[in-house]
Amino acid sequence: MQLYNRVDRKVLETQMADSDVRRITLSFYKYHQIGNPQLFRNYLYARLDSLGVLGRIYVAHEGVNGQISVPKEQYHAMVQELDDTGFLSGIRLNIAIEDDGKSFIKLIIKVRSKIVADGLNDSSFDVTRRGKHIDAEEFNSLASDPDTVIVDMRNHYESEVGHFEGAICPDVDTFRDSLPIVEDILNPHKDKNILMYCTGGIRCEKASAWFKHRGFEKVHQLNGGIIEYARQVQEKGLENKFKGKNFVFDNRLGERISDDVLAQCHQCGAPCDTHTNCKNAACHLLFIQCPDCAAKYEGCCSSECHEFNRLPEETQKELRKNIDYQHNVYHKGRVRPKLQELISEQLRTLKESNEPVDLKTEQD
Residues 37, 40, 42, 45: is their CA dihedral positive or negative? negative
Q: Measure the CA–CA gap between 127 and 123, rounded to whole angstroms.
A: 8
Name the phi and psi angles at 111, rounded to 5: -90, 125
Residue 305 catalytic? no
Q: Measure the CA–CA gap between 362 and 364, rounded to whole angstroms.
A: 5
Sheet containing 132-134: give its strands across.
132-134, 219-222, 193-197, 148-152
Q: Is 49 helix (H, G, I), strand (E, B) or coil?
A: helix
- Taking Cα atoms as reference points, which of 361, 172, 157, 173 lies closest to residue 277? 157
Between CA 197 and CA 204, with CA 200 as vertex, the angle to 5 degrees is: 45
**β-pair partners for 196:** 151, 221
Q: Measure the CA–CA gap between 12 and 152, rounded to whole angstroms.
A: 35
* 92 close to 28: Cβ distance less than 8 angstroms: yes
Single-letter code of the amino acid located at 348: R
User: Which element (helix H / strand E) includes 221?
Assistant: strand 219-222
- Taking Cα atoms as reference points, which of 113, 111, 114, 108 lies closest to residue 3? 108
Catalytic-role residue among 169, 198, 204, 290: 198
Which residues have a catalytic role annotated?
A: 198
